[in-house]
Amino acid sequence: MTAIVTVPPYAPFIKDVVRHPLVTGLRLNTVMPVKESLDDVLKRLQDYEKPVWIDLKGRQLRTVGYWTPPFTEVRISHPITVKTPVTAYFGNGRESATVVAVDGDRLIFLEGPQRTVGPGESINIVDSSLSIDGYLTKMDLAYVAAAAKLGMHQFMLSFVESAQDLTQLRGLDKDATIIAKIESQKGLQYVKTAYAQDVTLMAARGDLYIEVARPHHILDAVESIVQKDPHAVAASRILASMAQSAEPDCQDITDVAYLMAIGYKTFMLGDEVCLRRESVMGALHLLDALVSRKKYV
């Protein structure tokens, strides 16, 4: 069993993380703000001598700027078209608001989310009429260019839904090694009908759980991904309770055990659990304890 760990760019505990025996790679979430050039950020992470996976956002919808209720418009990272009214989900799916009109990259709400929405927040619109204009963002392109200068070629690609998404990245970097993040129903259809075993798959359950038609469909989704790719990565919502407490929730432990039992051998720890040394190291030690049971290896 191995782990990929999300690293906040300025975390003082990255050295402790890379020393852990389960850790085989670092993930940079490219929505995290940085003060220096992208080249300098990547070089600093490269110096830890672990593979750095640069997480490109692709067609994932994220907020741009701050937006305040009650009379709210929200600008997002891509222009879209969708039949309205339609529900938009915020806060990892825990909050929702009704979009009454769309104007390119502007979502107009009747009341708006019941709180200030900040930059970089993920938004999910689960509707068959949704069409997203474009794929790689300007920031994605900037990171690919910066990585090329340093000979870095490992990317996570968000919301992969077709072979053309992979082709677009490979057109920029022919040596790209890609983990394709499956986060939508269209992504699951790609896995089912078009996956050519030319990339590693990831069950990116943060968005995927929101995007499946019914909550329990997440089981078929994660099982189908590892059946197609025995080297697939399980990610998001992994030991998430440890972001708030050193004592994990019971269901977090059994969740990881289930993922191990169905064949996942690599786990990625996400943003929240990796913001503090205590939580990320605790999560790694717990993963190590689960591996030591030798039930799944």
CA distance 158 to 27: 13
| 285 has pLDDT over 80 | yes
Q: pLDDT tens for residues 186-206?
A: 999 999 999 999 999 999 999
CA distance 242 to 158: 25
**Residues β-bridged to residue 177:** 154
CB 179 within 8 A of CB 268: no
Name the helix (H) or strand (E) containing 186.
Answer: helix 185-193
- Reported CATH class of domain 73-132: mainly beta
Rounded to the nearest integer, the mean pLDDT of the chain is 95
* Opening angle at CA 274, ends 147 and 234, nearest 5: 75
Q: 296 pLDDT band (50/70/90 cuts)?
A: low
- Average pLDDT of the segment spanning 67-83: 92
Burial of 293 (0-12, 13-18, 19+ CB in 10 A): exposed
pLDDT, residue 177, reads: 98
| Ranges of CATH 3.20.20.60 domains, the chain | 2-58+135-159+172-181+195-291
| 294 has pLDDT over 80 | no
Q: pLDDT tens for residues 244-258?
A: 999 999 999 999 999
Instruction: Tell me the pTM.
Output: 0.95
CA distance 225 to 285: 26
CB 53 within 8 A of CB 269: no
Per CATH, the number for 2-58+135-159+172-181+195-291 is 3.20.20.60
Q: pLDDT tens for residues 119-160?
A: 989 999 999 999 999 999 999 999 999 999 999 999 999 999
Q: pLDDT tens for residues 157-188?
A: 999 999 999 999 999 999 999 999 999 999 99
